[in-house]
Structures are given as structure tokens and as C-alpha cells.
Structure 1
Amino acid sequence: MSDNVLHAVAGAGGGVLSMVLTYPLITLSTRSQVESKRAQTTVLDATRHIIQREGFSGLYAGLDSAVFGISVTNFVYYYWYEWSRAAFENAAVKAGRSRKLSTVESMIAGAVAGSATVLITNPIWVVNTRMTARKRGAPPPSPSLKPTLAEPTPRPAAPTTIGEVKALLKEGGIGAFFAGVMPALVLVINPILQYTIFEQLKNLLERRRKRSVTPTDAFWLGALGKLVATGLTYPYITVKARMHVAGKNEHVSVLTALRKIVKEEGWSGLYGGIAPKLVQSVITAAFLFAFKDALFKVAQATLRNRRAQAAKLLLLKK
């Protein structure tokens, strides 16, 4: 198994673990992004509202599609990132230069990996965003069946992945699964910034310490990279989320969506849910880099041991 496949598997595993740990923050951020300014409240009030209406499970709406999505996303991203990185490193060795990636090379590798990931996984995240935001609620009760004051308001039924897929196909066909793909492609700059900052700080740290970084180092470097990247690209994250949940007749261009939000809600509308998103993004990225680094080393050691055992068995047979 090649190193780029090992990195892809480790990235997928690290992504799933970090996603599960921070998913309630993703729910809070996504709902803040897709609601208008009038509906937004504090993070604490939003949490209470979700729990009262939907129970604790409401904080994990769409977790199944998110776990599937992050595993596929990270596998694809890390496979192509490491493939691009290996190509640059091999070219550097042939030219007699250092194997360490330059800033430009890191950005190009991130652009290649990010673009491939967006095109392959956008349908998964459209479904997940709709489930997390619960765009399709339960139908309103009939006037003759209004609940009395003594009767509790029924909780809306939790959407299912299959149900959302059917709804999307019915509403807009295959094209509905690629809603928001343009801002998503623009947002490729997010992982480019994140991984470029991470790689360059990692290279600097390894040169100073003269050894490879530890999972703890990766945790803090990953957190710093994600903090900068998310803070700079958040307006596009908001636009992408709203385009994912837009109805069939609501799809507009990225610039039109940006202007509409600013006109109706002010500039602050572009930053709805940024507090939980920053916290979630930074914590998720920190755990992702730490988990990925640890999982890669474990996978690499396991593969090395298996190869050694296989070689011993061959010698014994001879």
C-alpha cells in the first residue's frame, strides 16, 4: 500500500473521529447560516431551542451523512494532496533541491486536491446541510386538528438520508445535488490556506527541532491553520450553506446571493453562526491533524510489521 493511500485512510479516520466529537457545534453553525438575521439568537438560546423542539438528537441531525461525507471527503482530499505532494518532491529530488514543499507548491497541491474533492463530494454535503438545517419540516397541522393548550406540540420528524435524496431528485433533479458548487470551488482556498500554513509551520518546526512533529504539535498547528482559513473565508461558507437549502426557484449566482444577504441583513448576515463555526472548525481541525498523524504512524508501523512477518515466512518456507 502506497503512502498516499495510507495518508488517505488516516485522514478519513481522523476526520470521522473529529467530526463526531464536534458535531453539535456544526448543527448550531449551519442553522445560524441558513436562517435570516431576524431568527438568529445566541448560541445558548439556539441550543435550548433545538433540545426543546427535537430533543438531544436534534444536535446530531444529519450525523450519518456527515460521517459518510467526511470520510469520503478526507480520503479523496488526502489521496490527491499526497499524490501532488509526491510529484513535487520527486521533481525536487531530480533537480537536486530539498524535498520540502515551497509555499507555492503547497498551494498548488491543495488546489488540485480541493477541486477534486468538491466535485466528487458536493452531493453528499448538499444532503447533509439540508438534514442538519431541517429545511423540510413536518407539514402544518390541519385547522381542525390544532393541538389544545394541554397537548404538547409534536416534534418534527427527523429527516432521513434516503428521504432527502428523494426530495432533491423530485425538486431539482441531478442538478440539485450540485447546488452551491461554485462557492464550494471558491472555498477551495480554505484548505489551501489551512494546509499551506500547516505545512510551512511544520517545516519550520522540524528544521528547528531536527525531528518530525508529534501529534500534539500537529494538533496546535492544525488549529492555527484552520482559524486563519475559516476567519478569512466565512462569508462564502454562509453563501454555500444557503444555496444548499435553497428551493428550486431560489437558485442564484454567488454574487447575487452575497448582495441579497448584505441588503436584507447587513454585513453581519454574512457572519451568522461564526462563533460556533470557528470553535468547531478549529477544534475539528486540531483533532483531525492529531488523529491523522497518530493513525498514519500506527498504520505505517502495522504495515511494516506485516511485511517483515511475510518476509520471515518466505524465508522459513525456503
Structure 2
Amino acid sequence: MSDNVAHALAGAGGGMVSMALTYPLTTLSTRSQVSKSGGRISQVEAFKRIMKEEGPKGFYSGINSAMFGIAVTQYVYYYWYELVKAGIEKGVAAGRALTIGENMLTGAIAGAATATITNPIWVINTRQVVKKESTGDDGKPTFKKQSTWQTALKILREEGPAGFFQGILPALILVINPVIQFTVFERLKAWLQTRKGNLSGLDFFLLGAISKLAATSITYPYIVVKSRMQLKQTGDENSRYRSVLDGFQKIIKTEGVKGLYKGIEAKLVQSVLASAFTFAFKEELFSSAVWLLVLLRLREPKVSA
């Protein structure tokens, strides 16, 4: 068995650790993204509201589907990324680093495969994070809590299989996010290795943070549109997005340009930290993943020369 599976397992493990550490920021960002009110709610105000109405557990709405989703997402992405990268490297001169175009092609193929396979998981997660609010007998807001399985069954019953692929188009467009991220990461890593040689866990942490900061800053408006399209498309005409362009136009019309950047503060912090942790833990977990595969006799141990 090739290193692809070991990289995929290490990526999945690193992704789960980073998701667990940064999930409250994901909740804050997602709730801000799907809010269609014209006014701007600060992250501090959103934090206080969740604490008051739902308590600390409110920050972990949908954590089960998110942990499963990030494990599958990272596994699929790293498997395809390493598979495509190895294929391209076989066709180029020995010892030559991949060009920017080759890095981007590798990321695009891996990203498209990942977005298509995992979109149903993230539709379920978005629906769980954005709980439906109702008023209880005492006049206070209450929130309907549904399990991952209940949410999936509700989507299937009310919207059919197509409901799991809400927002698939912006998700595919957002393939550019990991393309930018991994291109920046690979170029910076190659530059740093020529100066330092072997890189430490801290180096990978910083490289992951810088590369994700660049990618998220550029693609954030698409993230907002994708999150909203993953919700059930009901309500008035301004709340229904028939396409990515339609989503952009309606957000700008009703909320202004600032509507495309709702929740960006929490998202930048979350995505940068999550990416940094993922890269750092992924590198640390790779040798453990190789050892596990050898132990399970799914791969031959490497023999030192």
C-alpha cells in the first residue's frame, strides 16, 4: 500500500483534532454567515447571545456531524492530493519541484473530488449549527435540537436526495480555496527547506496558518453564499438563491457589500488555527499512521538502506 493512505489517515486525525479545538469559532462564524439581517452583529454580541439562550453547549451544535465530516473531508482530500501529486512527479524530471501550475492542478482535482463526496455531510452540519428558533410557553426563545440522523431523514423527506447537494456549485467553486492554500503552502515549504533543511512541527504550524489566511481572505464571500445555499431554500424571494451570482446580487442589494463578509473575524481565526493545527498534527501523525498500516499488514515496512 502506498503512502497515500498513510497521508490520508494522518490528515483525518489532524483535522479532527483541529476541529475539536476550534469548533466554537465555527459556530460563531456560521451563524453570522447565514444571518440575513441588514445590521451587523459583532462576534462578541453573538457569543453573548449563544451563552444566554443556549449555554456553553450551544457552541457545539452539530459537533458530531462536523467531526465525522472533517475526518472524511481530510481523508479524501489528502488521499487524492498525494495520489495526483505522485502521478505528476513521475512524469517530471527527477528532483524537480512541481511548478505553481502543477501544484494548482493537484489541489483542484483533490478539492473537486472532496467537495462532491462530502457536500451531504456539510449540508447536515450547517442545518444543525443553524438551529430553528421558536418561542416557548414562557415567551423565551427555544431551539429545536435534532441528531445527525434525524436531520438527514428530515432533509430526505422534505427535499429528497437533491437536498443533500444544496450549495454544491459554490462548494465546487470554493475548490479554489485549498488550491490557493496548498499552492502557497508548497511554495513556502520548498523555500523554507532550502534554508533550514528539515522542518519542525512549529514550521508546519506557521506554514499552515499563513497559507490558510491567504486562501480564506480571498474566497470568503463564496463561503457566505455556500452556507446560505446549504440551508433549505424557503421564505421570500430575497432569501432564495437560485445561483451563486443570484446570491451575490441579493446579498449586496439587501445587506450591502458588508453582508458578504459576515462572520469573517471568527472564520479567519478558526480557519487559520484549524489549518495550522491540521498541518502540524498531520506531520506528527504520519509516522504513526505508517506504523498502524504495517501492524495491520496493509503495507510492507520500509527497509533502511
TM-score by length of 2: 0.91
Pick the structure with greater CA Rg.
1
1:1-318 map, 5 Å? 1-38=1-38, 40-92=40-92, 96-134=93-131, 136-138=132-134, 140-141=135-136, 146-147=137-138, 153=140, 155-209=142-196, 211-247=197-233, 250-300=240-290
Matches of 2:216 and 2:209, distance apart in 1: 11
Give per-residue Cα distances to partners, 1:187-213, cap 9 Å, x unaligned.
00000000000001101111122x232
Give per-residue Cα distances to partners, 1:106-150, cap 9 Å, x unaligned.
10010010000011000000000111111x334x45xxxx427xx
- Alpha-carbon distance change, 173 to 306 in structure 1, aligned in 2, over 3 angstroms: closer
Give per-residue Cα distances to partners, 1:52-110, cap 9 Å, x unaligned.
11111100000000000000000000000000010011112xxx342422211110010
SS in 1 for 2:222: helix
Aligned residues: 295
SS in 1 for 2:160: helix
1:303, distance to aligned residue in structure 2 (A): 5.7
- The share of aligned pairs that are identical, in percent, is 48
Give per-residue Cα distances to partners, 1:231-289, cap 9 Å, x unaligned.
00000000000001132573411100100000000000000000000000000000000
RMSD (Å) for aligned C-alpha atoms: 2.0
1:2, distance to aligned residue in structure 2 (A): 1.7
For 1:106, the aligned partner's letter is: N
- Alpha-carbon distance change, 243 to 154 in structure 1, aligned in 2, over 3 angstroms: closer
- Alpha-carbon distance change, 97 to 116 in structure 1, aligned in 2, over 3 angstroms: same
Matches of 1:86 and 1:284, distance apart in 2: 26
Matches of 1:63 and 1:280, distance apart in 2: 15
Matches of 1:270 and 1:3, distance apart in 2: 40
Contact 1:126 1:177 in 2 (8 A): yes
Matches of 1:156 and 1:268, distance apart in 2: 28
Matches of 2:295 and 2:149, distance apart in 1: 42
Matches of 1:272 and 1:186, distance apart in 2: 19
Contact 2:225 2:247 in 1 (8 A): yes
Higher helix share: 1
Gaps of 5+ in 2: none
